[in-house]
Structure 1
Amino acid sequence: MKYILPLCVFLLLINCQIVLSILPIVIWHGLGDVCCNPLSIGGLQKFIQQQIPEVYVISLKIGKTIREDFENAYIKNANDQVEFVCDLIKNDPKLALGYHGLGVSQGGQFLRAVAQRCPDPPMVNLVTLGSQHQGVYGLPRCLGDDVKFCDYVRSLLNHGAYKKWIQNFVTPAEYWHDPLDEKAYKKASVFLADINNERSVNDTYKNNLKQLKNFVMVKFTKDTVVQPIETEWFGFYKENDLNSTYTLQDSQLYLEDRLGLRAMDDEGKLHFLQVEGDHIQFSQAWFKNEIIDNFLR
């Protein structure tokens, strides 16, 4: 009898270790999508849970209703959205020991902002799918069912992305990056220029991002939504030249290590993956083999 209790304790500890090694996953959807669409993010969440049955997964809903979630992706200040998610994550006891972040399209740069601004609890791995880390310059085709709403946002961007009220109201304007007027972009951008440390170096952002174990960027080589495609790997158009682009490794952000990405690259923390397809078009087999098995399991 004297061996029964220690054996039970041992088995309990082993089971706890197995459970604790499976980190939760936080997913942030992109523009034109919602948290729980079974044909998009909801389906991806279900697939992840099938592959990792014990995992706790949150697909973020920004707002009280699905409608609010859809609209907020277009017209809620990105900084307010990040703050909302930071509070949600901090107050979820199931995330207290850390979690993985999975950002889809604009949800990727938003989750990166969470990693930079809100390190408690810690994000361990960050995976971004088709995300606009250096912003966009160009109006993509509308996604989702509400084309009229999307066209309204496009018209506001045409009206003037760097007008103060548009910057504070239209979400895509907050990562609109005009390579023909870098000065206006850096001065007016209320979100992207800040999280990319382009006006000054925020050491907190830099140090927090460097705490990631892995930062994975997935580029879609035939993307018709994101302009330029290079932004999905942290590249962008060269200044005053819409016919040429630069890579992350050629950028001042990297060469001056303003965000810690050069140090992370030296440590093998940066991973650049690509898919031969249009925006967020990938197979379940690819996602399992490249993302789940390597970074989420």
Structure 2
Amino acid sequence: MALPRLLILLIGFCGLSSGRSRAGPVPLVIWHGMGDSCCNPESMGYIKKLVEKKIPGIYVLSLKIGRTVIEDMENSFFLNVNDQVAFVCDKLAKDPQLQGGYNAMGFSQGGQFLRAVVQRCPSPPMINLISVGGQHQGVYGFPRCPGESSHLCDWIRKMLDIGAYAKPIQQRLVQAQYWHDPLNEEEYRKNSVFLADINQERCINKTYKTNLMSLKKFVMVRFLKDSMVDPPASEWFGYYRSGQAKETIPLNETALYKEDRLGLKEMDQGGKLVFLGAAGDHLQFSKEWFCENILPFLQ
């Protein structure tokens, strides 16, 4: 999930890249969150320009899922995530600028969507994945919504209340596709059309594990005062302990980690997982924090 306008405090300063390789900077692919779009000048458009300014010569692709910006925003609510991922995989495969490899940065739900890209589509190769507030174990709540999309969010709440795992809702409502009910894990594993698949909840797809482990770094940003994501632990791959919705456990206590279904345990032991904390609410961070904590993984 994501706010329609990424709240970036225009404070702080970060210097330019200390230099680029002979082949030039590694390209960057950005995927926005719920209710946002590729080119909003106060969110993804701002991030794109900031990265281009601080890393001269970098190619930045901010993904537009649809023919127009409005369609892009609407698809963040209503286009099946599997279809979105397939669309992005095809787009990346055809982009000549990306064939030597690229870094990826996903904001809110764009974080887990880009993880699906690296798991399902290893060519061109993703080098580093940066998830900014992504919900990798899903969500079990819909506490508040982007202001400009409040009417949509009210409708989504009603649909989730009716039944997140009902087939028509699973097929059409993006947020239902990463809804993870800790009180009914069996129904989640059986009927989730997206998250249960990429988290290997039903069966083990060895290529998913191999492809994710090919990353150089998997960076996860958690917002320490997050009032939008329920539970915030999902941003670091933690979640509610199964059978209840009060106590959360960290990644290393989850079955997914202990069974190493995605290779996260091996990646963790190899220093490939990076856990970053940002002090603010969901997707609220300063320019200074971004430059100090995120830019090093893009250079």
Note whether the superposition's TM-score is higher than 0.5.
yes
Compared CA separation, residues 144 and 64, structure 1 to 2 (3 A): farther
Is the radius of gyration larger for structure 1 or structure 2? Answer: 1
Asked if 1:171 corresponds to 2:174, the answer is: yes
Residue from 60, 65, 73 that aligns with 1:57: 60
The verdict on how the C-alpha distance between 1:69 and 1:19 changes in structure 2, with shifts beyond 3 A counting, is: farther
The equivalent residue for 1:194 is 197
The answer as to whether partners of 1:24 and 1:55 remain within 8 angstroms in 2 is yes
In the alignment, which of 186, 207, 210 is matched to residue 213 of structure 2? 210
SS of equivalent residue, structure 2 residue 148: coil
Aligned to 2:238: 235
Partner amino acid, structure 1, of 2:194: F
Distance 2:143 2:96 in 1: 38
State the distance in 2 between where 1:206 and 1:186 align.
18
1:244 aligns with 2:247: yes
Query: 2:290 aligns to what?
Result: 287
Say whether residues 1:270 and 2:280 are aligned partners: no
Cα offsets for 1:74-128 (capped at 9, x unmatched): 0000000000000000000000000000000000000000000000000000000
Deviates more, 1:151-160 or 1:49-58: 151-160
Structure 2 gaps, min length 5: 1-19
Is 1:32–1:144's contact at 8 Å kept on the other side of the alignment? no
Contact 1:19 1:54 in 2 (8 A): no
Q: State how far apart, in whole Å, the 1-side matches of 2:72 and 2:143 are.
A: 20
> Shift of residue 19 of structure 1?
4.6
- Considering Cα pairs closer than 8 Å and 6+ residues apart, tell me whether 1 or 2 has the greater RCO: 2
1:107 maps to 110
Percent identity between matched residues is 55
8 A Cα contact 1:33 1:144, kept in partner: no
Please state how far the C-alpha of 1:239 moved relative to its aligned partner.
1.2
1:69 partnered with 2:78: no
Give 1:140 deviation, angstroms: 2.7
1:144 Cα offset (Å): 4.4
Runs of 4+ in 1 over 6 A off after TM superposition: none
Residues 238, 244 of structure 1: 8 Å contact kept: yes
Partner Cα distance (2:147, 2:129) in 1: 25
Higher helix share: 1
The one-letter code matched in structure 2 to 1:234 is: F
Cα distance in structure 2, aligned partners of 1:292 and 1:112: 19
The question of whether the paired residues in 2 share the 8 Å contact of 1:31 and 1:74 is answered with yes
Q: Which of 134, 146, 153 is 1:150 aligned to?
A: 153
Q: Distance in 1 between matches of 2:43 and 2:194?
A: 26
Which residue in 2 is equivalent to 1:88?
Answer: 91
Alpha-carbon separation, structure 1, partners of 2:124 and 2:133: 25
Equivalenced residue count is 280
In the aligned structure 2, how far is the partner of 1:68 from the partner of 1:134?
Answer: 27
Alignment-derived partner of residue 296 in structure 1? 298
Instruction: Report the TM-score, using the length of structure 1 for normalisation.
Output: 0.93
Q: 2:50 aligns with which of 31, 47, 52?
A: 47
In the alignment, the residues of structure 2 paired with residue 128 and residue 167 of structure 1 have an alpha-carbon distance, to the nearest angstrom, of 24
How far apart, in 2, do the equivalents of 1:19 and 1:283 lie?
A: 31
